[in-house]
Amino acid sequence: MIKIDDFNFKGKKAIIRVDFNVPLNKETGEVSDDTRIRGALPTIKKVIADGGAAILMSHMGKPKNNPEPKYSLKQIIPAIEKYLGKIQFAEDCNKADEAAKNLKAGEILLLENLRFYAEEEGKPRGIEKTDPAFEDAKKELKAAQKEFAKHLASYADVYVNDAFGTAHRKHASTAVIADFFAEDSKMFGFLINKEVEAMDKVLNDAEKPFTAIMGGAKVSDKINIIKNLLNRVDNLIIGGGMTYTFIKAQGGKIGASLCEEDKLDLAREILAEAKAKGVNVYLPLDGLNADKFDKDANTNVSKIDETPDGWMGLDIADQTIAEYTKVIASSKTVIWNGPMGVFEFDKFAKGTSAVAQAVAKATQENGAFTLIGGGDSVAAINKNKLADKVSYVSTGGGAMLEYMEGKILPGIAAIRGDK
């Protein structure tokens, strides 16, 4: 596999899969958070600085049919030009032959939303999965997907994948296209490189004590990552809504808290497996309860397994915060996914903020390597303005989870050859 650092793009056209699926302000149509655009800049700038030309391709949103203006990448041109100067735009990603051919060194061409073609995802549209015709339609579309990818590939000499957020999808632009480039003409961009390095460090080369902090709403979403991490970590800290499935599984009273009744056995299984593997599991000691799911709810604090009837736990409380802070402070590697409570409501954000602070402190004062991933924990770290105080903040929610689960990601495998 070749490395972007070692590659010289002089005189080459590079087609770069970026993730420009950025949030837009519903009223003004302006980009409300340009993190993903900024994330792609190092790769684009390297191509240009070397004397190459860059063709940028991305999806935006989930268009159901053909071009839908609200998903047009045209809207984000100003947000890109802010960093890169004037760029060109191809109104149809599948008919950009001329624009690509005429592109000169130093120039940048942005293609319109790839998902305006069903071929990008390879998923038939407007036909139900249960429809007997679905499988045939899918087969047909898969063949068309290859052609679509081949056509995109024909625009350029080199393929760079820098969209980690979609690396877990086998789409035309994220994986299939790589087949149309030789080994020495395809590579990861800087962003994917950093993501993969950070995750490999945690998965394969973690300094101990290694602590995983798992929060968020449901156990069912996190089960595979927890199972994979049980083979690696010393400490497993649990928080958020999933807490209560574990507490109920052990016979505790959880009032009206979130609980996945059909996952109680699974919760017990995880606890048993952790014990067998010598992993210390930390469950909350106390909870901050609400009388309704509301930002202005009345609150009380109880032992976690004595949540009063009719009340729901929406955050961890002080005793738990103190314990979790201590465990995090003594860790040398930390991975954090999912908030400790309903941090979107200020009243229930304290536990998540405290964990964010503790993770930042471990990084700064204990030299810990700390990796934050998953949409909501990233939002929490940003809300606390601590993104530059931790080792790495992953941009790829679903992709990050799947990588940490130990799965092979098609977008990574297409370049690195993972099997």
Provide the annotated active-site residues: 36, 218, 375, 398
Nearer to ligand AMP, 339 or 396 (CB): 339
* Residue range at the interface with ligand AMP (CB under 6 A); choices 118-126, 132-140, 142-150, 215-223: 215-223
CB of 217 to ligand AMP, least distance (A): 4
Q: Is 14 in the site for ligand AMP (CB under 6 A)?
A: no
Work out whether the CA dihedral 158, 88, 412, 128 comes out positive or negative.
Answer: negative
Q: Is 291 in the site for ligand AMP (CB under 6 A)?
A: no
Nearer to ligand AMP, 74 or 218 (CB): 218
Which residue in 98, 72, 101, 76 sits closest to 87, CA to CA?
76
Residue 56, classified by CB atoms within 10 Å of its CB into exposed (0-12), middle (13-18) or buried (19+), is buried
Nearer to ligand AMP, 240 or 255 (CB): 240
Q: Is 374 in the site for ligand AMP (CB under 6 A)?
A: yes
Residue 42, classified by CB atoms within 10 Å of its CB into exposed (0-12), middle (13-18) or buried (19+), is middle
Q: Is 284 in the site for ligand AMP (CB under 6 A)?
A: no
Q: Is 313 in the site for ligand AMP (CB under 6 A)?
A: yes
* Residue range at the interface with ligand AMP (CB under 6 A); choices 8-16, 148-156, 295-303, 337-345: 337-345
- Which residue in 121, 286, 376, 402 binds ligand AMP (CB under 6 A)? 376
Q: Which residues contact 100 (CB under 8 A, 6 or more apart)?
A: 13, 55, 90, 109, 155, 156
Cα-flanking dihedrals φ and ψ of residue 140, to 5°? -65, -40
Question: Can you tell me the distance from the alpha carbon of 43 to that of 3, in angstroms, rounded to the nearest whole number?
Answer: 12
Contact at 8 Å (CB) between 199 and 324?
A: no
Q: Is 342 in the site for ligand AMP (CB under 6 A)?
A: yes
- Which residue in 77, 87, 203, 217 binds ligand AMP (CB under 6 A)? 217
Q: Where are the beta strands (DSSP E) in 244-342?
A: 253-254, 280-282, 286-290, 299-303, 306-307, 312-316, 333-337
- Which residue in 37, 160, 314, 409 binds ligand AMP (CB under 6 A)? 314
- Which residue in 52, 122, 124, 240 binds ligand AMP (CB under 6 A)? 240
- Which residue in 68, 269, 318, 344 binds ligand AMP (CB under 6 A)? 344
Residue type present at position 150? K
The residue number whose beta carbon is nearest to ligand AMP equals 216
* Residue range at the interface with ligand AMP (CB under 6 A); choices 144-152, 197-205, 226-234, 336-344: 336-344
Q: Is 351 in the site for ligand AMP (CB under 6 A)?
A: no
Q: Where are the beta strands (DSSP E) in 41-198?
A: 53-57, 88-90, 108-111, 158-161, 186-188
What are the residues facing 57 on neighbouring strands? Answer: 17
Nearer to ligand AMP, 342 or 360 (CB): 342
Contact at 8 Å (CB) between 307 and 314?
A: no
Question: Can you tell me the distance from the alpha carbon of 291 to that of 95, in angstroms, rounded to the nearest whole number?
Answer: 57
Collapsing DSSP to helix, strand or coil, 339 comes out as coil
Residue type present at position 310? G
Q: Is 241 in the site for ligand AMP (CB under 6 A)?
A: yes
CB of 342 to ligand AMP, least distance (A): 4
Cα-flanking dihedrals φ and ψ of residue 148, to 5°? -60, -45
x/- track of binding to ligand AMP for residues 245-274 (CB under 6 A): -------------x----------------
Q: Is 221 in the site for ligand AMP (CB under 6 A)?
A: yes
Nearer to ligand AMP, 63 or 313 (CB): 313
Report CA-CA distances (Å) from 13 to 20, 43, 93, 160: 20, 13, 16, 10
Which residue in 193, 184, 186, 185 sits closest to 163, CA to CA?
193
x/- track of binding to ligand AMP for residues 163-192 (CB under 6 A): ------------------------------
- Which residue in 52, 122, 255, 338 binds ligand AMP (CB under 6 A)? 338
User: What residues make contact with ligand AMP under the rule CB under 6 A?
Assistant: 216-218, 221, 240-241, 258, 313-314, 338-339, 341-342, 344, 374, 376
